[in-house]
Structure 1
Amino acid sequence: MCRHIAYVGPAQPLGRFLVEPPHGLYRQSWAPRHQQYGTVNADGFGVGWYADADPVPARYRRAGPIWADQSFTDLTRVVRTTALLAAVRDATLSGADAEAAAAPFAAGTWLFSHNGAVRGWPGSLTALSRTLPPEDLLSLEARNDSALVWALVLARLRGGDEEGQALADTVLEVAAAAPASRLNLLLTNGDTITATAWGDTLYYLTRPGGGTVVASEPYDDDPHWQQVPDHTLLAASRTDVLLTPLKEPAETRTPSAKEPVT
């Protein structure tokens, strides 16, 4: 379910990454090439971007399919930015949250998206939800798995964790509580991109002339796209990408032939 993309680098029109490429996010809404779960991402979409001299991003989100919004391509043609995060949504479960359920979620300087699904939602995360302050639960933008995962990440960020630590610890915690969940998370602060590959596809591209793109799947056939291994934390700037393996919680792993079964 879902496809998402983030970019940091020299200023470019939004459409350069979302609409113009032959397999950009716009086309991925009905014809993704690498999506393993679901086929059509028509349950909402959104894009967040950063304007000059303003660290707080703007967002444009809608409840319906991206191709049904006649204003979207005009917007992406003229708005330029040095950083963006965008997503198209295939809902895990139907609900009444509409636009509020569409990524990117936002707080302060951060934009966030979740590509995947929490297995056993909502019961599987009942215990984890109790670790959040009541005001955090009451202020959730939507009543879906992605919104709660974002609340768990945000609590760590507000507690002082670095972006990579916040994403990694949240993924490991949710994976232990809800084994077999798909937890590809994407976060930007306007300067860097942090992401996890956990159960679904993730790629990155360092562009000639500067700039890094991280996406669920390549938007073109450039041979320089690199796939991120599963169970990996990615940290990217405009010029560098660092990959760090994430260890799967013991509770979710299938023992190998050499491991004793207890």
Structure 2
Amino acid sequence: MCRHLAYLGPEEPLGRLLVEPAHGLYRQSWAPRRQRYGTVNADGFGVGWYAEGDPVPARYRRAGPIWADLSFADLARAVRSTALLAAVRDATVAGADGEAAAAPFAAGPWLFSHNGAVKGWPDSLAPLVPSLPAVDLLSLEARNDSALVWALVLARLRGGDDEAQALADTVLEVAEAAPGSRLNLLLTNGETITATAWGDTLWYLTRPGGGTVVASEPYDDDPHWQEVPDRTLLAAGRTDVLLTPLKEPSDATPPSPARPKEPST
């Protein structure tokens, strides 16, 4: 159910991160190596990136498969950025809302993606709806599970939570309402990356030349890629990564942060 990737670091063409790698997000749209649910991500794609001096990201999204968009190759070759978030989509409900349902979702400085599915959607999340401002519900970009999960995250961000707290609390709230959900969330503000591993694969790479990549799966065979354990919150900057265990909703013990081991050289 989708593959996604976020990057922070030295300025790079989008294509160097998404298209050129042997197993990059472009190829993952039809031949992912580690996807546990679904086999083809052809129900839309999107990329969001930050231009120098502008805190509000730009987005390019389409309803069809990434390989069918001839314009994307030119965009990916020419556009450069120090931060991006991109995703290819395998829809929970085929055809739901087209381009509007393709990640990344955006508001203010944030870009967001959800890899997974909410169990029992939409009935399972109905009890959470009263917690959202009416205007947030009326302005949902799409009528799918990812859009509502994003609304829950965004409400917390606007309420003053930092990115890590907003993702962690949303995952635990949704997991309690809809047990068995897969909730790999990915969020960036152009300066940090925050993500959760909850039911699907997540990896990160701290590049020797500078920069951090967080992705559903490695885009190459670099041995420095590190897998994120399931039920984990990841918080990353351009040079460091912090992992914090997430507890099941029934476990009230607060999580304690743990630094990942340094990759071998």
Shorter-normalised TM range: over 0.9
Question: Secondary structure, in 3 states, of the residue corresponding to 1:12?
Answer: strand
Mapping of 1:181-260 within 5 angstroms? 181-250=181-250
Amino acid of the structure 2 residue aligned with 1:176? E
Give, in angstroms, the shift of residue 43 of structure 1.
Answer: 0.2
Question: What is the CA deviation profile of residues 130-168 of structure 1, one whole-angstrom value per residue up to 9, with x for unaligned ones?
Answer: 210111000000000000000000000000000000000
Give, in angstroms, the shift of residue 21 of structure 1.
Answer: 0.1
Give, in angstroms, the shift of residue 95 of structure 1.
Answer: 3.7
Question: Secondary structure, in 3 states, of the residue corresponding to 1:250?
Answer: coil
| Aligned mates of 2:83, 2:125 — CA distance in 1 | 32
Question: What is the CA deviation profile of residues 43-100 of structure 1, one whole-angstrom value per residue up to 9, with x for unaligned ones?
Answer: 0000000001000000000000000000111110110000000000000012441000
Question: Secondary structure, in 3 states, of the residue corresponding to 1:56?
Answer: coil
Mapping of 1:100-249 within 5 angstroms? 100-249=100-249
Amino acid of the structure 1 residue aligned with 2:91? A
Question: Secondary structure, in 3 states, of the residue corresponding to 2:70?
Answer: coil
Question: Secondary structure, in 3 states, of the residue corresponding to 2:171?
Answer: helix
Does 2:55 match 1:18? no
| Aligned mates of 1:5, 1:69 — CA distance in 2 | 19
Question: What is the CA deviation profile of residues 163-188 of structure 1, one whole-angstrom value per residue up to 9, with x for unaligned ones?
Answer: 00000000000000000000000000
The runs of 5 or more residues in structure 2 that have no matched partner are 252-265
TM-score in terms of structure 1 length: 0.95
Question: Secondary structure, in 3 states, of the residue corresponding to 1:130?
Answer: helix
CA contact (8 A) 2:41 2:89 kept: yes
Amino acid of the structure 1 residue aligned with 2:127? A
| Aligned mates of 1:227, 1:240 — CA distance in 2 | 15
| Aligned mates of 2:73, 2:95 — CA distance in 1 | 27
| Aligned mates of 1:77, 1:135 — CA distance in 2 | 38
Aligned pair in 2 of structure 1 residues 228, 96: CA closer, same or farther (>3 Å)? closer
Aligned twin of 1:8? 8
| Aligned mates of 1:96, 1:116 — CA distance in 2 | 15
Sequence identity, in percent? Answer: 84
The runs of 5 or more residues in structure 1 that have no matched partner are 252-262
CA contact (8 A) 2:61 2:103 kept: yes
| Aligned mates of 1:27, 1:129 — CA distance in 2 | 37
CA contact (8 A) 2:96 2:144 kept: no
Question: What is the CA deviation profile of residues 3-44 of structure 1, one whole-angstrom value per residue up to 9, with x for unaligned ones?
Answer: 000000110000111000000000000000000000000000
Question: What is the CA deviation profile of residues 191-231 of structure 1, one whole-angstrom value per residue up to 9, with x for unaligned ones?
Answer: 00000000000000001121000000000000000000000
Amino acid of the structure 2 residue aligned with 1:93? V
CA RMSD after TM alignment: 0.8
Question: Secondary structure, in 3 states, of the residue corresponding to 1:33?
Answer: coil
Aligned twin of 1:51? 51
CA contact (8 A) 2:232 2:243 kept: yes
Give, in angstroms, the shift of residue 129 of structure 1.
Answer: 1.4
Amino acid of the structure 2 residue aligned with 1:116? G
Which aligned runs of 4 or more in structure 1 are off by greater than 3 angstroms?
none
Amino acid of the structure 1 residue aligned with 2:123? G
Amino acid of the structure 2 residue aligned with 1:234? L
TM-score in terms of structure 2 length: 0.94
